[in-house]
Structures are given as C-alpha cells and as structure tokens.
Structure 1
Amino acid sequence: MQATSIHTSQGPAVQYLLRIGDTCLILGQRLSEWCGHGPVLEEDIALANMALDLVGQARALLTRAGQIEGRGHDEDQLAFLRDERDYVNVTLVELPRGDFAFTMVRNTMVATLLKLLWERLASSSDTELAAIAGKALKEARYHQQHCADWVVRLGDGTAESRRRTEAALASLWRYTPELFASDAVEDAAHAAGLGPRWADLQGAWTDEMAQVLAAASLATPRESAFRSTGKQGVHSEHMGFILAEMQHLQRSFPGGVW
C-alpha cells in the first residue's frame, strides 16, 4: 500500500521556505546522479559532497517549514510525500543532469543565487532560519567558487570544452528570469523580515555571473522572453521522473526508517 500524499499550507512563510528547500533538494538529487560518473575521482567526490550539503540545507529548511506550518509534517514527509504540484523549486534545478559543463554552469548559477540568499537570510527575523543561513552560507561560497573555477577552465580551455560550455550556457540562461520573478509570497516574506524578495538579488547575481563569464571569455546571453514556472508548482516534464525515483521507497514502505 502506498503512502497517502500530504498537502502543505499555502501560507507565505511556509511557501517561502519550501521554495528554497525544494530548490536545494532537487538540485541535490540531480548532483547525486554524478556519483561514480565524475570525470576524475576528486571531482566525483566533490560533487557527492556538494549534493550532501544541499540535501542538508533542504532538511533544515523543510524541518523549519513544518514547524511553522504546525501540522506535524516532518522533513521526510515534506520531502517524499507531496505531489508534483506541491513542489515549488525553480525549474532550472530539475532539468536533466547533462554533461559536466552543463552541471558546472548550472551549479555556478544556483550557488551564486543561494549564496546571496543566505547572506540576507542570516539577518532574518526568524532566528532559526538565520542560524540555518549562517551554516549554509559557508557551503554555498565553496560551491560557487569551485564550480565557477570549472566554468572558467572549460570556457577558456579547448575548443571542445568551450563548445560544450557555450551550449550549456545557452540552454540554461532561458530559465533565469524565473529566479527573480516576485509575487505575493516573496512580498509577504520581505514585509515580515523573514527574507528578501529574490528580485532584490538580481543585480548582484547578474554582476557576479558576468564576472565569471568574462573570466571564461564567454558572452552573457540575452534575456529570453520565456518564463518557467516551477516556483508556482508548474514544472517541466522532467520533474515527475525525479519524484518517482526519490519517493519510491517512502511510497512503497510508508513510515519506513533506517
């Protein structure tokens, strides 16, 4: 018998935390797919460790979201027992793993966003969230530096590595407008001092990404008119496959623990 799905509160504080937690969780899942497939052993281990960092951040955020919600949902229930439309991660993180250049470009983009978020969340009016941010910020800084270094090496490397990096950048950049699309959830979080509107981070994010791309001798793509909607719970065709793999054990053995 499969476990029954849960549905979460639509309250802005809960949804705000879920957006960040789900983004970390799904990217961690994608990065875990590199385990045993890295181009070199050292990078295989680095990617696995970054995946663990992201899952750890997701655990903390989902736990706090459950506490604020007050319905008794713990981190495992929130991670594994929601339906697809109840996940509110950005679409960028659910795209298929891709090649190494794709992974490094995406990681740089997301790590830069998360670093800027954690910097602001460290002064959140929610002391629990501020404490989570203090630890996560150190991890995000490492992720950003590590992956940005690879983007520079690949973009300014061989003809083949440059071709792959340019292709990854062109493919991923069209999903960036969603990162900075504000709505009532983020406006409420900002007003309460819980955390910033993601739109308020756009200028700093654009500047930091431009520096990385310039060092890699890559041009910043133009903004696309396309708007993805993962933060609203409307996902790409890839999300269902991720959840089917993530949720299999918990759905098949409800309440199972190690």
Structure 2
Amino acid sequence: MSDDHVYMSLAEGHDDSDARWAFGTGFEDPLHGVDTTVPEDVDAAALAATCAALGDDALVLSQRLAEWVTRSPELEEEVALANIGLDLLGQTRLLYARCGQVDGTGRPEDAYAYFRDADDFRNVRLVELPNGDFAFSIVRLLVFASWRLAHFTELAGTADPVLAAIAAKGVKELTYHRQYAAEWAVRLGDGTEESRARMLVALEAVAPYWDELFAAHDARDAVMADLRQVLDAAGLPMPRATPVPGGGRTGGHTEHLVPLLTELQSVARAHPEATW
C-alpha cells in the first residue's frame, strides 16, 4: 500500500476511468512494486487458500467493528474500534491481492470482497457473530487478536516472502489490537458488578467458537496461556463450553453471515461497473 492509512489516498490524484470499488478511490495494486514470484517450494493452491481465509476473517470482523461507529460507549472508543477495523481492512487488501496473484484467476480485490456468496467465504464463524454489547465485542476481539497474533508471528517466517511480509506488518497491528482488548477486559472484569456480569456472559458466548480457531491454526497452548493471563488480571474464570459443530473454513457458517455480506456488498453489486 502507498499509505499506512487507507483513506489517505482519497485525496490523491487518480484516473476515474480505472477506479472501482476496492475500499476507496485511486488505489493502486497494494503489492505494486513487490516481487510476487511464488517460490518453487511453495504450494500455490495452499498459499491462495491461506490468504483467502485470513483475508475473509479480517474483512468480516472489520465490517462488524464498523457497526460500532456512532454506537460506541465513548467517542474515543469509537475511533479506536474504527482504526482497528481499518487495520484489518488493510490486511484484507494485501491478502486478497496475493490470493489473486497465486490462485490462477488473476482476480482483483473486489472480486473476493464483493462478488462472492457466503458459501464461498472461509472465515471462522467467531467474526461473523453479531456484536452484542460492548463486553461481547471486547471478548471476541481479545480472543481473535490473540489467536491471529500467534498465527501471524509464525507466518512471518513462512517460505512465501510476500505472505511473510504481510504477516510481519500485521504483527505490529495485532499487538495493539490485543493490548486494547486486554486493557478493556481487565477494566470491565474488575469493574462494577454489572460490567463483570456482562463479561462473564460474553466469555460463555465466545468460548464455543474457540476450537474452530485452533483447528485453523494449532496455537492453542500459547493462545490459551495468553488469555488466561488476561482473565486472571481481570478476576474472571476461564470458561468451559461445548464447541459448536461445523466450521467456517469448510464453508459452514452461521445464519449471520448472509445479512452481513448483503449489506457489505449491496452497492457494489447494484452498480458493478460504476466508477468514482
């Protein structure tokens, strides 16, 4: 990307004839100028699947975080959640761009974000659940960021240099995401009786979707130790829950993904050839 903040490019000069729907106006290929050759020892199909799934995770959660705009408890938290969503959107762009390069289709980012149906998405189900109250969104973000941080830390050493670079950049962002969620988890868990009660309910609601994360990437011990440290500081117990059968990585989603994508994709699908 030419800018760390995706909206900065809105003010730059651009050729309207080339502008489409990818997250703003005037964006160039986010991997422009990068050597995108797939190393000989890397399975291109597996690489594409990984990039698509991780991009889907980030896109769907960024959409959920965007729903907090105008609804957050305080303006400061609205800005924080919006910025976390923008970080995830930036990761989405890079991952979809890499996927289009290596999956043999040459598809642009728009094709993955706006012109696939829910059955084609491979995000984990945790990210598609409705926001609930602020406690639920904080617990979800804490779990997701802790897991994704562990995953990206490992991917920073992967054989594909482009994915490795994307992951290395993401590690810095995800470290902040986890810190933000952890600080709020401690504040709410060790706060009032009401905030503690809401955190307990949120933990029980999120816990059934944990196993799917570790099926997608086995980092259970490290992530659970990380979560236990935060929950201990918050005075909250580690929840136990029966895993929900199925999994988004194989196309099995909750009933919440379709309406989320319908809203996300509505304008692009109504005007697929529009320029702006």
Indicate the TM-score class for this superposition, using the shorter chain for normalisation.
0.7 to 0.9
**CA RMSD after TM alignment:** 1.3
Contact 1:213 1:220 in 2 (8 A): yes
Q: CA deviation at 1:224?
A: 1.5
Q: Which whole-Å deviations, capped at 9, do the CAs of 1:148-181 have from their partners, x for residues lacking one?
A: 1100100110000001110000011001111112
Any unmatched runs of 5+ in structure 2? 1-43
Instruction: Provide the residue aligned with 1:110 in structure 2.
Output: 144
2:238 paired with 1:204: no
Contact 1:177 1:227 in 2 (8 A): no
2:238 paired with 1:220: yes
Instruction: Provide the residue aligned with 1:239 in structure 2.
Output: 257
Instruction: Provide the residue aligned with 2:76 in structure 1.
Output: 42
Instruction: Provide the residue aligned with 1:180 in structure 2.
Output: 214
Report SS of the residue matched to 2:72: coil
Report SS of the residue matched to 2:110: helix
Percent of counterpart pairs with the same letter?
45
Contact 1:152 1:216 in 2 (8 A): yes
In structure 2, how many angstroms separate the alpha carbons of the residues matched to 1:253 and 1:98? 32
Report SS of the residue matched to 1:174: helix
Q: Which of 141, 155, 166 is residue 200 of structure 2 equivalent to?
A: 166
2:62 paired with 1:28: yes
2:169 paired with 1:135: yes
Instruction: Provide the residue aligned with 1:5 in structure 2.
Output: none
In structure 2, how many angstroms separate the alpha carbons of the residues matched to 1:225 and 1:241? 24
Contact 2:204 2:240 in 1 (8 A): no
Instruction: Provide the residue aligned with 1:61 in structure 2.
Output: 95
Q: TM-score, with normalisation over the residues of structure 2?
A: 0.82
Q: CA deviation at 1:36?
A: 1.3
Instruction: Provide the residue aligned with 2:52 in structure 1.
Output: 18
- The residue identity in structure 2 corresponding to 1:254 is P
Q: CA deviation at 1:223?
A: 4.2
Report SS of the residue matched to 1:248: helix
Instruction: State which structure, 1 or 2, has the greater radius of gyration over its C-alpha atoms.
Output: 2
Instruction: Provide the residue aligned with 2:266 in structure 1.
Output: 248
Contact 1:229 1:235 in 2 (8 A): yes
In structure 1, how many angstroms separate the alpha carbons of the residues matched to 2:176 and 2:243? 32
In structure 2, how many angstroms separate the alpha carbons of the residues matched to 1:142 and 1:70? 35
Contact 1:119 1:137 in 2 (8 A): yes
In structure 1, how many angstroms separate the alpha carbons of the residues matched to 2:179 and 2:134? 16
Q: Which runs of 4+ in 1 moved over 3 A?
A: none
Q: CA deviation at 1:221?
A: 1.1
Size of the aligned set, in residue pairs, is 233
**Higher relative contact order at CA 8 Å, sep ≥6: structure 1 or structure 2?**
1
In structure 1, how many angstroms separate the alpha carbons of the residues matched to 2:63 and 2:125? 14
Instruction: Provide the residue aligned with 1:86 in structure 2.
Output: 120
Instruction: Provide the residue aligned with 1:6 in structure 2.
Output: none
